[in-house]
Structure 1
Amino acid sequence: MAGRNDTIVTEFFLIAFTQHPGWGFPLFLLFLSFYLVTLVGNVGMILLICRDRRLHTPMYFFLSHLSFVDICYSSTIVPQMLVVLLEHGTLISLARCAAQFFLFTFFASIDCYLLALMAYDRYVAVCQPLLYVTIMTEKVRLGLVAGAYVAGFSSASVRTVTAFTLSFCGHNEIDFIFCDLPPLLKLTCGDSYPQEVVIIVFAIFVMPACIVVILVSYLFIVVAVLQMHSAGSRAKTFSTCASHLTAVALFFGTLIFMYLRDNTGQSSEGDRVISVLYTVVTPMLNPLIYSLRNKEVKEAFRKAVGRSKASAGS
């Protein structure tokens, strides 16, 4: 085609938010504060679960791994985003972009699997309470979590290799906050249909499959709760599940909006807002959601604060 630039791209220039140069420093401070809250909240949750014996249960075992993955997940994206905001754009090599894409996909996939495992854990606890300890043994929990990490690694490897066998040519500016799939696809040239099919197929094995597990688990939970005779038991069960459902709605809601929609004619501005929600805001809110709505976590936190004050006083 006349005038077409077929120069092969070996590096990208991230230019997110550069249309509003006055926003750079305020957004830098905002996202830095979000990131610090994410680190403090999730590290605090992990330490709380490790130190308080009352939290040594399957549910909190999965939650500790969710907090760890959220730290890694956020750390893959936010430091790069802060550099982009501070320098009004930054150059990133193809290899570094691929590494960031792999890590983001890896931790995002594990997040999906862990939320599904937590839903299954709630199902066993509510629907089969007498068998709960027998079913959710330490060996089973370790096996499930190890499976989540292996599945996340496999999915991320296939999606990364497939995505970066695409031909990127001509324009190399990514009007986005990190190397995500939608902006990368906009830079491709040639026939990318086979690679897109592989990426979509593997995405189906992660997001929709996990959503099905969560929906089926909560369907059985709702049926079991409605059969409870005590209003107090129903309220306690719903309260326990509410934190997890809130986290699920935040994480999957933004991912679904971003990936399972028609990107034609969508503005990069709207895409960036959604991406900020699932890469910056959700990992920050998860420990707050589980601590504010969970009586056991709040009691463990008060106990830890009391011990700290006693140690400081002595």
Structure 2
Amino acid sequence: MKRRQTPGNGTVFFLLAFSDLSLVAQTSLFVFFLLSYLLSVIGNGLIILVVMFSPRLHSPMYFFLTVLSFTELLSISSTAPKALQSFFQVGKTISFIGCATQFSVFTASATCECALLTVMAYDRYMAICQPLRYMSVITMTVCWKMTIFTLIVAFGNGVTAASLLFSLSYCDSNLIAHFFCDTLPMISVACGNTISIEIYQLIMSVIGIIFPSTLIICSYVKILTSIFLLHSTDSRHKAFSTCGSHLLSVIIFFGSAMFAHLRFGNPFSSYEDRIVSLSYCVIIPTINPLIYSLKNNEMKEAIRKLNLKIVAVHM
């Protein structure tokens, strides 16, 4: 019979992380996590700095990209440092407060990213399909309002989900077969009725994944239709290059999110869930800066000019 523990400040969870793998595999994963975290911090931090110090990039598109980079930093910083620590920590423990905070911040950042990718799709739709109305509709005031509203909703969702999940009782030694406190592994060690958090997560998955992805698909159908109607080859190429980075980011993020949160009827699988989590926790925040900078000529030019300014200052 499973022993119940009432949640509280004294509760300790044990993150098993990748302890079931060989030493060689764990070492390889440690290097992967470390390099990914460093690249993510450098890449997303660079995007924020470049946009801030490049007046040419002070437009709605790059404003949303800056907020997205901040969200990516928040997301990977909520999971990667603890995961790195767990490779060398004998007990691999995380406190109740630490687990709840990690879950809340990660959930908020994921929610925020869903909303931002949707808003960025609308921004591209207005710029390409309705260029004459773009400047009057997508103003910086509107951008700030949408961003503030997104942040409020995102952190509200993070706090609500954490309140439901961490009000449960937990069983045995609180062994979490994961590298961070995520929904499915937490539910798998919970005692009693988990229907409230499961229903809430299902509703939020529909609102936060199905609804935004549907809006993005509709936006890109209209965007692609408008692009193919352009007579100039240069205009088509510029439109494709502008949208290509965002579309690739959308496919990777929403694809991973759907697989992770919309597996109806499938039980929690430690191995499967960890592999998927690596995608949206570590890989996406690492490759997004590369996607948005390497495929964007304006961004590459701004980075080059910023480097020249830095070199000139130190000469």
Normalization by structure 1: what TM-score? 0.94
The SS at the match of 1:28 is helix
The SS at the match of 1:310 is helix
Asked whether 1:56 is paired with 2:58, we answer yes
The SS at the match of 2:94 is strand
Please tell me the residue identity of whatever aligns with 2:188.
Answer: K
- When residues 309 and 230 of structure 1 are mapped into structure 2, their CA distance, relative to the original with a 3 A threshold, is same
Measure how far apart 1:189 and its partner are: 2.0
- When residues 150 and 207 of structure 1 are mapped into structure 2, their CA distance, relative to the original with a 3 A threshold, is same
Residue 275 of structure 2: aligned partner = 273
1:301 alignment partner, one of 279, 303, 312: 303
- The answer to whether the 8 A contact 1:21-1:88 is kept is no
Structure 1: 5+ residue stretches without partners: none
Please give the alpha-carbon distance, in whole angstroms, between the structure 1 residues aligned to 2:177 and 2:64. Answer: 36
Residue 47 of structure 2: aligned partner = 45
1:150 alignment partner, one of 137, 145, 152: 152
Choose 280-289 or 199-208, whichever is displaced more.
199-208
Measure how far apart 1:273 and its partner are: 1.4
- The answer to whether the 8 A contact 2:17-2:177 is kept is yes
Measure how far apart 1:227 and its partner are: 1.8
List aligned pairs for 1:175-194, cutoff 5 A: 175-194=177-196
**What per-residue deviation string (whole Å, max 9, x for no partner) do you get for residues 76-118 of structure 1?**
0000000111225511122221111101001111111111110
- The answer to whether the 8 A contact 1:45-1:287 is kept is yes
Please tell me the residue identity of whatever aligns with 1:199.
Answer: Q
- The answer to whether the 8 A contact 2:2-2:171 is kept is no
Please give the alpha-carbon distance, in whole angstroms, between the structure 2 residues aligned to 1:264 and 1:159. Answer: 21
The SS at the match of 1:92 is strand
Asked whether 1:20 is paired with 2:17, we answer no
Asked whether 1:254 is paired with 2:256, we answer yes
Please give the alpha-carbon distance, in whole angstroms, between the structure 1 residues aligned to 2:85 and 2:22. Answer: 14
- The answer to whether the 8 A contact 1:159-1:202 is kept is no
The SS at the match of 1:168 is strand
Residue 200 of structure 1: aligned partner = 202
Residue 225 of structure 1: aligned partner = 227
The SS at the match of 1:87 is coil
- The answer to whether the 8 A contact 2:117-2:250 is kept is yes
Please tell me the residue identity of whatever aligns with 2:48.
Answer: I
Please give the alpha-carbon distance, in whole angstroms, between the structure 2 residues aligned to 1:145 and 1:198. Answer: 24
- The answer to whether the 8 A contact 1:25-1:86 is kept is no
- When residues 242 and 88 of structure 1 are mapped into structure 2, their CA distance, relative to the original with a 3 A threshold, is farther
Please give the alpha-carbon distance, in whole angstroms, between the structure 2 residues aligned to 1:242 and 1:190. Answer: 46
List aligned pairs for 1:93-242, cutoff 5 A: 93-242=95-244
Measure how far apart 1:213 and its partner are: 2.0
Please tell me the residue identity of whatever aligns with 2:19.
Answer: T
Please give the alpha-carbon distance, in whole angstroms, between the structure 2 residues aligned to 1:139 and 1:159. Answer: 30
Choose 297-306 or 55-64, whichever is displaced more.
297-306
Structure 2: 5+ residue stretches without partners: none
The SS at the match of 1:24 is helix
- When residues 265 and 151 of structure 1 are mapped into structure 2, their CA distance, relative to the original with a 3 A threshold, is closer
Measure how far apart 1:266 and its partner are: 5.7
Choose 25-34 or 60-69, whichever is displaced more.
25-34
- When residues 41 and 4 of structure 1 are mapped into structure 2, their CA distance, relative to the original with a 3 A threshold, is closer
Measure how far apart 1:263 and its partner are: 6.4
Please give the alpha-carbon distance, in whole angstroms, between the structure 2 residues aligned to 1:50 and 1:191. Answer: 48
Please give the alpha-carbon distance, in whole angstroms, between the structure 1 residues aligned to 2:4 and 2:193. Answer: 14
Please tell me the residue identity of whatever aligns with 1:117.
Answer: V
Percent identity over paired residues: 38
- The answer to whether the 8 A contact 1:46-1:68 is kept is yes
- The answer to whether the 8 A contact 1:38-1:283 is kept is yes
Measure how far apart 1:198 and its partner are: 2.0
**What per-residue deviation string (whole Å, max 9, x for no partner) do you get for residues 224-247 of structure 1?**
112222222122111110000111
The SS at the match of 2:147 is helix
